[in-house]
Structure 1
């Protein structure tokens, strides 16, 4: 039995192009993009997912992988996957930003640790919110939703037939405003509570000028900040679910998928 070269190239294209879209998503996706996860493990996972979704992927129009058109198509598929993963990362960055805002308001910003995902020093409060948001992401099966979206995208957003428009890229940029809005919403209760505490310090300074209110107030503000963070953690799941639903809606609209 003879196997034509065109058949082999078509089979390779039907596997490599979906693999690039999936691997692009894993490169920037929550959890899998961490520097602590070895690259071979991430690549193996992308290979297994690509093999699983191959039967539902329409035949690609690429017949020659060694061409400029095939190279451009590979870059496009990689960008599609990176965009999907980037949106999920922005959802979690909302809570990192909220934690940093709270840390600055409470004076807890002096305590910093190394972020294992980005490899930079961040306030411990922001890292705490990031870890908590990541655990909620795994708990609500966010990773399975991401895999489902990228699998369904091959039907509604076929390889080689459609591409992101300028309006879609603009929509991604505009969605970044929700990051700041949601971060302020999460940090609003601690900010208002600490504002009341600082106003109380002002009254104490006016009533007893001889007190060194800066020395006492700094310690009390930190203690009150920890108490307020503990009391507001109950709403964390609600805030995360709301922001995650917004992120899912954007991802589904970009690749024309309906979950």
Structure 2
């Protein structure tokens, strides 16, 4: 068997890995050079291609284009749905900043090219550090390499994938909002009580300028509760990573059955 006979298999493996590294957490950031992403995909394609033994030879015909589209779908789904759960911390920061008043001042994120809330950006960077500290990027690489055992490169997706994939995507988005509310609830609840206290103070002492006093008070309470909340945030992040790994396993089961 010549080296040219391995090219169709190598390209299919490369398409899945390249799409995964484009949408997966950590790897998708703009700070990660594109050359590194392509090089990493090529290296893993060479390693995975030597271990994959297709049932029959893969030919570059009309069916091959459908296999390429299937590999793109698998790679994008595995990367996107794991990244969606990590966006929960940014959503939680947006809810906190909306309540504390920091929503008026946002930061430009060079990774996404959009304006993001300060607390959401802080939570996201802290989540990335926690994710890397527990070797979460290794879990993602193991997951995408294990996908070739569940979803063969020469097989097409079954007809029941669309319905099950939509159900799973809705569940993942539900978990994202649930995690965001769980992360933001201590600070948002405390700031709501501060608003109630300031409202009562405005009725009892109408001469006091609460617009001048209220904003510094809410900012101070925001940072105090944020400092106290840090241990709880790490516990929620552990639950978030577990949910991410479970979602990755569910996607592999749906696409592989």
Do they superpose with TM above 0.5?
Answer: yes
Q: Distance in 1 between matches of 2:103 and 2:120?
A: 9
Q: Cα distance, 1:62 vs. partner? A: 5.6
Query: Structure 1, unaligned stretches of length 5 or more?
Result: none
Does residue 23 in structure 1 map to residue 18 in structure 2? yes
C-alpha contact (below 8 Å) 2:9/2:58 kept by paired residues: no
Report what 1:94 is aligned to: 88
Report what 2:62 is aligned to: 68
Q: Distance in 2 between matches of 1:38 and 1:149?
A: 22
Query: Structure 2, unaligned stretches of length 5 or more?
Result: none
- Pick closer, same or farther for the CA change 1:251–1:52 going to 2, 3 Å: same
Q: Distance in 1 between matches of 2:207 and 2:72?
A: 64
| Cα shift readout 1:167-198 (whole Å, capped 9, x = no counterpart) | 33211233211111110110000011111111
| Cα shift readout 1:120-154 (whole Å, capped 9, x = no counterpart) | 01111111111001111111111111111111111
2:196 to 175, 194, 199: 199
- Pick closer, same or farther for the CA change 1:202–1:253 going to 2, 3 Å: same
Report what 2:165 is aligned to: 169
Between 1:201-210 and 1:163-172, the stretch displaced more is 163-172
Q: Report the TM-score when normalising by structure 2.
A: 0.92
2:135 to 98, 120, 141: 141
1:123 to 117, 121, 132: 117
Q: Distance in 1 between matches of 2:55 and 2:136?
A: 29
**After the TM superposition, which parts of structure 1 deviate over 6 Å for at least 4 consecutive aligned residues?**
none
Two-structure CA RMSD over aligned residues (Å): 1.8
Q: Distance in 2 between matches of 1:238 and 1:163?
A: 37
Relative contact order higher in (CA < 8 Å, ≥ 6 apart): 2
Figure out how many residues of one structure are paired with residues of the other and give that number.
Answer: 251
C-alpha contact (below 8 Å) 1:13/1:60 kept by paired residues: no
Q: Distance in 2 between matches of 1:136 and 1:162?
A: 37
Q: What secondary structure is seen at the aligned counterpart in 2 of 1:114? A: strand
Q: Distance in 2 between matches of 1:137 and 1:83?
A: 20
Report what 1:182 is aligned to: 179
C-alpha contact (below 8 Å) 2:58/2:154 kept by paired residues: no
Q: Report the TM-score when normalising by structure 1.
A: 0.91
Q: Distance in 1 between matches of 2:50 and 2:238?
A: 32
Report what 1:105 is aligned to: 99
Q: What secondary structure is seen at the aligned counterpart in 1 of 2:87? A: helix
Report what 2:205 is aligned to: 208
1:32 to 18, 27, 32: 27
1:252 to 227, 249, 252: 249
